[in-house]
Structure 1
Amino acid sequence: MKGGIYRNVSSIPGFSKSESIMKSSYDCVVIGGGPAGGSAASIVAQAGLETLLIERDPMPRFHVGESLMPETYWAFERLGINERMRQAGFQSKKSVQFVTHRGTESEPFFFRNHDDRPCSSTWQVERSEFDKMLFDRAEELGADCYDRTRWVDVRFDADDRVTGVVVRDGDGIQREIDCRVVIDGTGQQSFLANKLGLKQFDAELRKVAIWTYYRGAVRGEGDNEGATIILNTENKDAWFWFIPLSRGITSIGCVGDTDDLLKGGGKPEQVFFEQLDLCPGLRPRLEHAKRLGEIRTAKEFSYSTSQNAGNGWVLVGDAFGFIDPVYSSGVYFALEMGIRAADAVVAGFQSNDLSARQLGSWTDEFLEGAQWVRKLVHAFYSKEFSIGRFMKEHPEHRGRVTDLLIGRIFDESAEQLFKDMEMSMKKAM
């Protein structure tokens, strides 16, 4: 097995990580073992470049963000894992549904009604299993993959060009690794963005997410069984996600303004159940369900970065930026960014151009498409917005709205959709 000390080989008698085969020099180092890092390392390694992928936590590790957009199909196709996804036992996701603050359920948005190809169905995934699948795939394609390895620093020369990284393995041994490119997939830790002062929070989306898991929650019926459901609270000050996973487990999370939900030092568990009492669409779904595990929180998670690439480095996934989780765009964006950045890195090595311009050559097109999801998020948080009312007023936009929910954001503009949406909200004021 190449690399791969994360597969419990440390349990072999006499084995020491300090004797592992991590090299002192690589073409490319990818930091962060999530979807962005795993996909980027796979593509770069597949192209024949010496690639190191490191993750600070033991793999598999817990992570929230289980719902996929159907457009992940094409990323999985590129990575060669669509068949593995079908065989993994993940909950199938064929629709999205919305529930108003009064408990009124919208008609499900069935993706197949818009496009009946296999790419219009996706999955709800346990991230521990899903991320490890991607980590394993990177190793299969030639990357040296190490978990329990922390990134300590990134080295630059006098011209601000990356020359290497400093890492610390699970035995506490610090190593300096030479490389020509660093791909930062460190998620919301945003290693390089924080180091270089590039992180910019969205002042209008200062939210907190409070979540846990339940067994036995009431799901939709038939093809709507695996639907992601978005449910508003009575005052529309918060909303809940309902994400059905395999084995009868459902992810349930509450999202609202940080200042509102946690004012006065409110405890997350108390806030969660207070908001649940205010959510008429969710209460009956959990009436006979059993909560599993602890209550978890994440705060102020919507942000962007003022610079996405430099000489010898590029940001991907949540290290690049993150949009509110309401439309489940996070994993799809991470995969898309990882592949696009990796293609730019491979092309850069081929042309001997590892400049900021080359490594970030994909970012303008990506941001142009991602803006439509960001606009849809901002519309969602307007109390004047109702997806059901908008669909009645503008049935001609149902296909384009479904496109956004599927993740098809790079092919055509949604400008007219949002002009009509803005007028709809103004009329509701």
Structure 2
Amino acid sequence: MRTYYDCVVIGGGPAGGSAASIVAKAGLDTLLIERDAMPRFHIGESLMPETYWAFERLGLTERIRKAGFQAKKSVQFVTHRGTESEPFFFRAHDDRPCSTTWQVERSEFDKLLFDRAGELGADCYDQTRLLDVHFDENHKATGVSVRTADGNNHSIDCRVVIDATGQQSFIANKLKLKQVDANLKKVAIWTYYRGAVRGEGDNEGATIILNTESRDSWFWFIPLSRGITSIGCVGDSDCLLNNGAKPEAVFFDQLARCPGLTPRLIDAVRLGDIRTAKEFSYSTSQHAGDGWVLVGDAFGFIDPVYSSGVFFALEMGIRAGDAIVAGFKKEDLSREQLQSWTAEFLEGSQWIRKLVHAFYSKEFSIGRFMKRHPEHRGQITNLLIGRIFESSAEQVFQDMEAMMKESATM
């Protein structure tokens, strides 16, 4: 490991791997570090179709296609009564190859991205822990301290630090930039099953969103390869874990209250432990500074319901990488240059945030909304695809808000 790099990327997930690939391919001396040994477990297995264009940019489309991941061609919703919606088939809206995406084992998927950054010229180290990010008296990032797998500490100078540390959000926590969404204080409790009943035909690999009877929680159903399915419960942390409730007991209690899911697991076998994550919905008040930028979950995370996390991470990594490459060409690594992509990103991602808040409103039903406003089916599908940077969804949410207000008065 050298003592100087043009760019240091902290975190080997989708955001870090894509950012490192972009800057390394441009010829910048790039270091990518990951705390854990690669490959390593991570949640967030369902991809939006718009990830296709990131794979094209990174030169990974064929590798992803041949990796053996479960194909995902649709999304489906199931009500608190167990009534199934018509699947939202992506190809009905766009019949190009990008309409098929994947449900991925993140250990294998992230390793593909990590290795690709190495192929493009980055020095890639796993089992390397970030100790600190260094700033000068003008609050400009100047380097990092790390500890490698052999236990040795290293001080590395650089021109730019890309923080892709995920929910650790190292710089955001260090500079007190992290803001938890008070309306989305959720907990996720999940595990894995073998032999769960999936959809049929092209709906076999669908992500299914299933409400519980009370609509106080919901389950994800994400079919992976090798007959394994990721099953997770999400609800208000204070509600589900009140009075010291144990996550495993909560999971099975909520499962018993989910009429759309219990038949799918009747002959399935649970694999492994129950896992949890709490209060994962947050934003950051500043996304970049002189010599540093946040990407992926270090930038912020909305909610798992529409599977936007990996897509956003890839999108941010590529956009930040492009801004850094342009900044080196102009000799401008200021906050303004490094965050030049963030306004457009936030403008597009707001539509997913709005859709998430609508989902958690008991006055909202996606099925009822589509019956009332069939003209919005294409735009709703756009949101589920991740096509959020090309056009406004303002009218969709005006009609959605009006319908929810009407339902609240009934």
Which TM class, normalised by the smaller chain length?
over 0.9
Task: Provide TM-score, normalisation by structure 1.
Answer: 0.95
1:218 to 187, 191, 197: 197
Q: Which residue of 1 aligns with 2:295?
A: 316
Shift of residue 424, structure 1, vs aligned partner: 1.1
Structure 1 residue 157 displacement after superposition: 1.1
Q: What residue in structure 1 maps to residue 407 of structure 2?
A: 428
Task: Determine the C-alpha separation between the residues in 2 that align with 1:381 and 1:173.
Answer: 47
In 1, Cα distance between equivalents of 2:380 and 2:403: 15
Alignment equivalent of 2:110, drawn from 131, 138, 152 = 131
Q: Deviations over 1:354-382 (max 9, x none)?
A: 00000000000000000000000000000
Is 2:154 the partner of 1:172?
no
Q: 2:142 aligns with which of 163, 166, 170?
A: 163
Amino acid across the alignment from 1:249: I
- Distance between the aligned counterparts of 1:415 and 1:172, measured in 2? 53
Paired AA for residue 382 in structure 1: S
Following TM superposition, by how much is the alpha carbon of 1:158 offset from its aligned partner in structure 2, in angstroms?
A: 1.1
Taking the aligned partners of 1:160 and 1:137, their CA distance within structure 2 comes to 32
Distance 2:209 2:310 in 1: 18
Aligned mates of 1:207, 1:341 — CA distance in 2 = 29
**What fraction of aligned residue pairs are identical, expressed as a percent?**
80
The residue type paired with residue 131 of structure 2 is V
Question: Which runs of at least 4 in structure 1 moved beyond 3 Å after TM superposition?
Answer: none
- Matched with 1:337 is 316
1:140-161 Cα distance to aligned partner (Å, 9 max, x none)? 0000000000000011111111
CA deviation string 1:223-259 (max 9, x = no partner): 0000000000000000000000000000000000000
The one-letter code sitting in structure 2 at the alignment partner of 1:80 is G
Residue among 16, 24, 29 paired with 1:37: 16
Deviations along 1:34-59, one digit per CA (max 9) or x if unpaired, are 00000000000000000000000000
Q: Hey, what does 2:131 align to over in structure 1?
A: 152
Structure 2 residue matching 1:242: 3-state secondary structure = strand
Aligned with residue 397 of structure 2, among 414, 418, 422: 418
Q: What is residue 12 of structure 1 aligned with on the other side? A: none
Cα distance in 1 for residues equivalent to 2:297 and 2:219 = 22
2:250 corresponds to which letter in structure 1?
Answer: V
Query: Which amino acid counterpart does residue 288 of structure 2 have in structure 1?
Result: A
Answering whether residue 7 of structure 2 is matched by residue 25 of structure 1, we say no
Hey, what's the Cα distance between the residues in 2 that align with 1:417 and 1:385? 13
Pairs within 5 Å for 1:91-130: 91-130=70-109
Once the two structures are superposed, residues 306-365 of structure 1 have per-residue CA deviations (whole angstroms, 9 ceiling, x without a partner) of 000000000000000001100000000000000000000000000000000000000000
Give the letter for the 1:64 counterpart: I
Look up the equivalent residue of 1:361 and give its one-letter code.
S
Counterpart position of 1:367? 346
After the TM superposition, which residues 387-402 of structure 1 pair with which residues of structure 2 at under 5 Å, given as runs?
Answer: 387-402=366-381
Q: Which moved more, 1:161-170 or 1:34-43?
A: 161-170
| Aligned AA (1:122) | T
- In structure 2, the residue matched to 1:4 is none
Q: Once the two structures are superposed, what CA deviation does each residue of 1:105-135 show, in whole Å capped at 9, x if it has no partner?
A: 0000000000000011100000000000000
Deviation of residue 172 (structure 1)?
Answer: 1.4
SS of 2:5's partner is: coil
Letter in 2 for 1:325: P
Q: Give TM-score scaled by structure 2 length.
A: 0.99
Question: Structure 2 unaligned runs (5+)?
Answer: none
Counterpart-to-counterpart distance in 1, 2:184 and 2:272 = 28
Secondary structure in structure 2 of the residue aligned to 1:26 = strand
Alignment partners' CA distance in 2, 1:358 and 1:172: 36
Q: Structure 2: how far apart are the matches of 1:70 and 1:155?
A: 38
SS of equivalent to 2:145: strand
For 2:6, the aligned partner's letter is D
| Separation in structure 2 between the aligned mates of residue 313 and residue 266 of structure 1, nearest angstrom | 41
Aligned match of 2:164: 185
Partner of 2:28: helix, strand, or coil? coil
Deviation at 1:427, TM superposition (A): 1.7
Aligned length: 408
What letter corresponds to residue 400 of structure 1 in structure 2? Q
Which whole-Å CA distance do the structure 1 matches of 2:114 and 2:150 have between them? 21
By how many angstroms is 1:261 displaced? 0.2
CA–CA distance in 2 between the matches of 1:61 and 1:106?
35
Equivalent position to 1:353, from 332, 335, 344? 332
Counterparts of 1:224-303 in structure 2, within 5 Å, are 224-303=203-282
Deviating more after overlay: 389-398 vs 162-171 = 162-171
Amino acid at match of 1:364: A
2:52 equivalent to 1:73 = yes
- Whole-Å separation in 2 of the counterparts to 1:94 and 1:120: 7
CA distance in 2, matches of 1:193, 1:286: 40
- Partners of 2:71 and 2:357 in 1: how far apart? 28
Deviation at 1:170, TM superposition (A): 1.1
Structure 2 counterpart of 1:86, from 31, 41, 65: 65
1:3 aligned residue: none
CA offsets, 1:193-239, max 9 Å, x none? 00000000000000000000000000000000000000000000000
CA distance in 2 between counterparts of 1:306 and 1:148 reads 30
| Aligned-partner Cα distance in 2 for 1:24–1:351 | 24
Secondary structure of the equivalent of 1:23? coil
